[in-house]
C-alpha cells in the first residue's frame, strides 16, 4: 500500500514538474512575444509620427506651391503681351534695386488682388465709336467733377479722391523699376490729372485740352463728370466703371462708379480713381501692364505716365489712329 502511494505521488510530481516546464516555456514565449509586439508598436508609433510630419510638410509645400502659382499667374498676366529679355547683369541690378530701395515701393506694394476696371461709351446716334473720345471745350471752359455719396467715405478718402484729380505734384521714377529702360534713366509721373493737364496746356492741339477741373459734392447731379461712391459689389467683380455719353465724337457726360467703398483701402481708392478719371477724360486702356491705364491695375507705381500724356495729346490733336505707341 505504501509502495502504491509512493508511486502515485512520484507520478503526480513528475506530471506537475513537466507541466511547470511547459508553463515556463509558454510564459517565456509569451513574454518574448509581448516584447516583440511592444517593439512593433513603438515602431508603428514612430512611423505614424513620421507620416504625420510628412503630411504636414506636404501640406505646407502645397500652400507654398499654390502661392507661387498665384504669383506666377499674376505675373504672366502682365507679361502676355510684353516679353522682356534681360541679361544676367541687369537681373542682378534689379535684385539689388529692390533690396536697396524698398521704401519706394511702400505706398502700394504688390497688389494681391488686382483692381479691375471697365468702361463703356454710349453713342446717341448709333455711330461707330472710336476707342478715344474727347471733350470739345472752349479755352475758358472748366470741367466740373461732382462726388456723390461722399458720406460713404471718410474725410481722408474724399481728400485722396480729390488729390487724384486736382494735385499738381509730380515725381521722378527710375525707368528700371517700370521696365522702361536701364538703371540711371528716369521718367516723370503725375499724381493728379490737373498736373498733367497743366503740362498738356502748353501743347498746341487741334481741340482744347481741358485746363481746369472744379470738384464739388452735390446730390443734385450737377457737373460733366459724376463720381458715384458705392458700397455695392459689381456683378462682374469690377472695382471701377466709367460710362461716357457721346454725340458726334465728343463726350457730353461721364459717370464714374467706384464699387466696394467699404472694403477698399485708401491706396486702392486712389489707384482706381486715378485710372477711372483717365477714362472720363477720353482715354481707353493701355497694353502695357506697368501703366496706370492697363485694364487690371497691377503696377507698383500707378501714376499718370508720359505714355498717358502722349495719348491725350494725340486724342485732342484729332489723330486718326486710335492707338499711341509709347516711347518708353
Same domain, 68 and 125: no
Domain finish residue from 44, 76, 108? 76
CA nearest to 295, candidates 307, 287, 283? 287
Do 212 and 306 lie in one domain? The reply is yes
Q: What is the pLDDT of residues 91-100, one digit of tens each?
A: 333 433 333 3
186 and 308 in a single domain? The answer is yes
Cell numbers given for 164:
487724384
DSSP codes of every residue in 250-285:
EEEEEEEEE--TTT--HHHHHHHHHHHHHHHHT---
Question: Considering the entire predicted model, what is its pTM?
Answer: 0.63
Q: Is residue 85 part of a domain?
A: no
Q: Are residues 120 and 209 in the same domain?
A: yes
Residue 249 shares a structural domain with residue 154: yes
Q: How far apart are CA 10 and CA 16, in angstroms?
A: 10
pLDDT at residue 45, as a whole number: 62
pLDDT at 4: 60
**What secondary structure, in 3-state letters, does 59-88 show?**
HHHHHHHHHHHHHHHHHHHHHCCCCCCCCH
Confidence class of residue 261 from pLDDT cuts 50, 70 and 90?
very high
Average pLDDT across the chain, whole number: 75
Residue 201, domain CATH: 3.40.390.10
pLDDT at 240: 94
- State whether 59 and 148 are in the same domain: no
pLDDT tens digits along 275-302: 999 999 999 888 888 899 888 888 889 9
Name the least confident of 43-57, 119-133, 156-170, 172-186.
119-133
- Residues 131 and 51 placed together within one structural domain of the fold: no
Q: What is the mean pLDDT of residues 255-279?
A: 95
Per DSSP, the three-state class of 112 is coil
Q: In the structure grid, which three cell numbers stand for residue 69, read together?
A: 502659382
How high is the pLDDT of residue 229? 97
The whole-number average pLDDT for the span 208-224 is 93
Q: Which residues contact 255 (CB under 8 A, 6 or more apart)?
A: 225, 226, 228, 242, 243, 244
Same domain, 142 and 23: no
108 and 236 together in one domain: yes
Q: Which three cell numbers stand for residue 48?
A: 505614424
**Number of separate domains in the chain:** 2
Range of the domain at 57: 1-76
**Domain final residue, candidates 22, 42, 76:** 76
Pairwise pLDDT comparison (111 vs 157), residue with the higher score = 157
Residues 129, 47 share a domain: no
Q: Decide which of 46, 76, 106 is a domain's last residue.
A: 76
Residue 216 C-alpha cell reads as 464739388
Residue of higher predicted confidence among 246 and 92: 246
What percent of the chain shows pLDDT beyond 90? 36
pLDDT at 53: 46
Q: Looking at residues 22-32, what average pLDDT do you find? A: 70
- pLDDT for position 166: 97
Amino acid at each position: 500500500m505504501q509502495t502504491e502511494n509512493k508511486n502515485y505521488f512520484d507520478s503526480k510530481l513528475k506530471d506537475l514538474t513537466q507541466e511547470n516546464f511547459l508553463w515556463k516555456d509558454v510564459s517565456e514565449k509569451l513574454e518574448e512575444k509581448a516584447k516583440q509586439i511592444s517593439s512593433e508598436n513603438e515602431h508603428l508609433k514612430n512611423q505614424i509620427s513620421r507620416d504625420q510630419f510628412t503630411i504636414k510638410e506636404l501640406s505646407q509645400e502645397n500652400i507654398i506651391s499654390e502661392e507661387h502659382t498665384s504669383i506666377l499667374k499674376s505675373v504672366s498676366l502682365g507679361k502676355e503681351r510684353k516679353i522682356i529679355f534681360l541679361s544676367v547683369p541687369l537681373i542682378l541690378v534689379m535684385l539689388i534695386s529692390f533690396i536697396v530701395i524698398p521704401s519706394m515701393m511702400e505706398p502700394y506694394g504688390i497688389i494681391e488682388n488686382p483692381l479691375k476696371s471697365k468702361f463703356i461709351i454710349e453713342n446717341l446716334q448709333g455711330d461707330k465709336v472710336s476707342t478715344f473720345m474727347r471733350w470739345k471745350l472752349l479755352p475758358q471752359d472748366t470741367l466740373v467733377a461732382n462726388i456723390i455719396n461722399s458720406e460713404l467715405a471718410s474725410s481722408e478718402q474724399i481728400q485722396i479722391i480729390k488729390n487724384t484729380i486736382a494735385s499738381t505734384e509730380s515725381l521722378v521714377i527710375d525707368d528700371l523699376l517700370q521696365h522702361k529702360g536701364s538703371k540711371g534713366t528716369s521718367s516723370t509721373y503725375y499724381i493728379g490729372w490737373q498736373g498733367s493737364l497743366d503740362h498738356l496746356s502748353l501743347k498746341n492741339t487741334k481741340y482744347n485740352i481741358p485746363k481746369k477741373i472744379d470738384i464739388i459734392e452735390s446730390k443734385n447731379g450737377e457737373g460733366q463728370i459724376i463720381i458715384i461712391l458705392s458700397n455695392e459689389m459689381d456683378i462682374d467683380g469690377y472695382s471701377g466703371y466709367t460710362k461716357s455719353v457721346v454725340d458726334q465724337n465728343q463726350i457730353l457726360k461721364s459717370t464714374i462708379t467706384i464699387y466696394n467703398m467699404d472694403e477698399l483701402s485708401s491706396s486702392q481708392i486712389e489707384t482706381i480713381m486715378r485710372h477711372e478719371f483717365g477714362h472720363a477724360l477720353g482715354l481707353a486702356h493701355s497694353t502695357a501692364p506697368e501703366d496706370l491705364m492697363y485694364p487690371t491695375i497691377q503696377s507698383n507705381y500707378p501714376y499718370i505716365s508720359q505714355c498717358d500724356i502722349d495719348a491725350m495729346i494725340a486724342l485732342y490733336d484729332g489723330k486718326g489712329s486710335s492707338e499711341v505707341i509709347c516711347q518708353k
